[in-house]
Amino acid sequence: MRLYRAVALVVATLMSLTLSATLTSSAQASRPTTGVHAAKGLTPLRANMVEAGNDHFVIYGVAGVTKVGIFRNANGGRFVLYRKLNVNKSNGKFRTRVYQYKNTRTCYRVLAPATANTSQHIVPVGCIITVRGKQVWQPA
C-alpha cells in the first residue's frame, strides 16, 4: 500500500515538472497582443432642439453619417430608441418633430453611429417639461 502512494507521489512530481517546463515561455515566443486598438475620433455630429409651437419641438442638426437615432427618456427611465432618421445626403442635415410624453419630463438625445474610422457620438439636446400648464424646453 505504501508503494502505491510512493509511485503516485513520484508520478505527480514528474508531471508537475514536465508541465511547468512546457508552460514557461521560451526566448523565441512571440508576445501576446494586448487587444488595445488605436483611439478613434467621434463621428461628426451637431444637434439642437427648439420650440416650434405650443405643444411640439424640433430636433435638428448636421451629421457626418447617413442615419441618426433619436433616443427618448420619459420620466427618468432609460433612454430608448424613439426614431431613426435618414440624413440628407447632399448637405448632411436632419430634422424631426418631437413631443412631450404625457405630462412628464421628457429628455432627448441624438446618436450618430460608429463607422469604420470613427466611434459613436451621443449629444444630449434637451428636455421638455411642463411649467404652470405650458410645455417648456430645457437645454441639456
Question: What's the pLDDT tens digit per position in 41-66?
Answer: 888 899 999 988 877 899 999 998 99
CB atoms within 10 A of CB 120: 15
Mean pLDDT in residue range 27-44: 62
* Per-domain residue ranges of the chain: 41-138
Mean pLDDT in residue range 76-85: 91
Residue 33 scores a pLDDT above 70: no
What whole-number distance in Å separates Cα of residue 6 and Cα of residue 17?
A: 17
* Radius of gyration over every alpha carbon of the chain, rounded to an integer in angstroms: 29
What whole-number distance in Å separates Cα of residue 93 and Cα of residue 55?
A: 24
Of the ranges 16-20, 47-51, 107-111, which one carries the lowest mean pLDDT score?
A: 16-20
Global pTM value: 0.67
Residue 38 scores a pLDDT above 80: no
**CATH 2.60.40.10 for the 41-138 domain, yes or no:** yes
Q: What's the start-to-end Cα distance of the chain, in Å?
A: 79
